A and B are shown apart, each in its own frame.
Chain A
Amino acid sequence: MSLREKAEVMDGPTLDRSLTRIAHEILERNQGGQDLALVGIKMRGEILARRIAEKLRTIEGIVVPVGALDITLYRDDLGMFDEQPLIKGTEIPFPITGKSVVLVDDVLFTGRTTRAALDAIMDLGRPRLIQLAVLVDRGHRELPLRADYVGKNLPTSRRELVQVLLREEDGQDRVVIQEPEE
């Protein structure tokens, strides 16, 4: 099945402004960011987490530790494919116990990735609280979860694919909706 681009829903500057707003909201909700830590879900959540950390430094002058989470070992569909998904590794080089952890992902869809990420984080320690930041919330939740910080709410149909492209990985910053070609 090949996909074709249906629409661009965010360009580079819009994406950047969303992250700036999320950074401000994080500071507002967390009283200036004491004991804050950002954990990005690999791959693109990690990139977004690093960008948000950079903004927090610029805005408030605070250095927030950033970790990267690979949720593969916590997926609920392991063993359902012929090949096991690749493991990319979790790198959280700081203790998360007592921290206010903001989990960062690019797209929030069914919520299954977030569920896996919550379990993965809890296995690493006992954070004071966990919040969720996503660049795009595209709906169609299958679990009772919601995001605390959302870049853009994007109504989609299930057959569409929302793709977040980031400079570090894809050479450009944009968010597009793709749909299967007939």
Chain B
Amino acid sequence: MGWRRKDLLTMRELEPGEILLVLDTAESLKEIATREIKKVPALRGKTVVNLFLEPSTRTRTSFEIAGKWLSADIINISGSSSSVVKGESLLDTAKNLEAMSPDIVVIRHASAGAAHLLARSLRCSVINGGDGAHEHPTQALLDLLTIREKKGHLEGLKAVIVGDIARSRVARSNIWGMRKLGMSVTVAGPPTLIPPHVGELGVKVAYAIEEAIRDADIIMMLRLQHERQEGQMTTGLFPSLREYSRLWGLTLEKLRGARDDVLIMHPGPVNRGIEMSPEVADGPYSVILEQVTNGVAVRMALLYLMAGGKGQ
């Protein structure tokens, strides 16, 4: 099966076959990273705009490297340096960009649905680089690639996702992707950070980390986005960072109850000492840096697949 979509907005919309196509393509493209001269001519003459209206190092750099290795021209626009600060609306910014004929726009935005809005109004392809607390599909794809690489398969594996599930686009995209490929998913965190109807996504809920990780093949720790929660924390979602870290932070101590071949993942950036201790983040089970490497491969795959057809 081939890629026929104009845009990549969510994991929710993807068919299992499409996810596997991205993973297979990414796996084949990984070889480029090992070359002395990391450049192939596949996207010569294509223009990719990185429209990042929310802080990001990893995702933006990853798309940028991916595009450059494929010979595309990459333009970066960040929130602080763009006309957004002059009060231009997102749609106006996008329309003006389109007038310069890019082939693909990657958007990161603090509001859920921003990528959809762009996709509806632009003729070029749109990739969602994270929209509010909604989805972050490229993160889920790189996570799936890392798991498949380490475990050899995806079906039947048990993943537990720990942290602020309610506000995590990483969790949401991973839940969709993992479920579609036959993995079972448990979410765990303080009850106030678990969305009320999360069971409808086909996941189990655990309210203690020790219980959640016992038979997990994968432990995915989420970043506690305390910078976004400042206001909410005072309204009582959890009493203090220290308590959160004591109850929900992953330490070597808690890891003793986990499987010997468990994978520990984190989308980054890690709050060392909050959601995981440094010994865990740098430990032998951690695949956090492989995730970053695979991020470039997955984004190369998407840029390649989406630069092809004129879409549906």
Taking Cβ atoms with an 8 Å cutoff, the residues of A that contact B are 70, 72-74, 78-79, 81-84, 86-91, 119-120, 123-125
Q: How distant is the Cα of A87 from the Cα of B302 in the complex, in angstroms? A: 12
Given contacts A73-B41, A87-B25, A123-B37, contact A82 B309 (CB under 8 A): yes
Min CB gap A73→B, angstroms: 4
Assess the A74–B3 pair: CB atoms within 8 A. no
Q: How distant is the Cα of A88 from the Cα of B307 in the complex, in angstroms? A: 18
A-B contact pairs, 15 of them (CB 8 A): A70-B28, A73-B42, A78-B42, A82-B308, A83-B4, A83-B308, A83-B309, A84-B2, A84-B3, A84-B304, A84-B308, A87-B25, A91-B31, A120-B40, A123-B39
User: Quick one: closest B residue to A122, CB to CB?
Assistant: B37
Counting chain B CB atoms within 10 Å of each CB, which of A82, A87, A89 scores highest?
Answer: A87
Q: How distant is the Cα of A17 from the Cα of B2 in the complex, in angstroms? A: 39
Does B35 sit within 8 A of A, measured CB to CB?
yes
User: Quick one: closest A residue to B306, CB to CB?
Assistant: A84
CB-CB under 8 A from B307, the residues of chain A are 79, 84
Contact with A along B1-40 (1 / 0, CB 8 A): 0111000000000000000000011011101000111011
Q: How distant is the Cα of A86 from the Cα of B2 in the complex, in angstroms? A: 8
Q: Which 9 A-B pairs have the closest CB atoms?
A: A83-B2, A84-B308, A89-B28, A82-B309, A73-B42, A73-B40, A87-B28, A87-B25, A84-B305
The count of residues in chain B whose C-beta lies closer than 8 Å to any C-beta of chain A is 26
Q: How distant is the Cα of A119 from the Cα of B304 in the complex, in angstroms? A: 19
Q: How distant is the Cα of A84 from the Cα of B310 in the complex, in angstroms? A: 10
Given contacts A89-B27, A89-B28, A125-B36, contact A83 B41 (CB under 8 A): no
Counting chain B CB atoms within 10 Å of each CB, which of A72, A88, A123, A124 scores highest?
Answer: A123
User: Quick one: closest B residue to A70, CB to CB?
Assistant: B28
CB-CB under 8 A from B304, the residues of chain A are 73, 84, 87
Counting chain B CB atoms within 10 Å of each CB, which of A73, A78, A90, A125 scores highest?
Answer: A73
User: Quick one: closest B residue to A123, CB to CB?
Assistant: B37
CB-CB under 8 A from A81, the residues of chain B are 308-309
Assess the A89–B31 pair: CB atoms within 8 A. yes
CB-CB under 8 A from A87, the residues of chain B are 25, 28-29, 301, 304
Assess the A82–B41 pair: CB atoms within 8 A. no
Give chain B interface residues in 276-312, CB to chain A under 8 Å.
301, 304-305, 307-311
Min CB gap B41→A, angstroms: 6
**Quick one: which of B28, B35, B37, B42 contacts A88, CB cutoff 8 A?**
B28
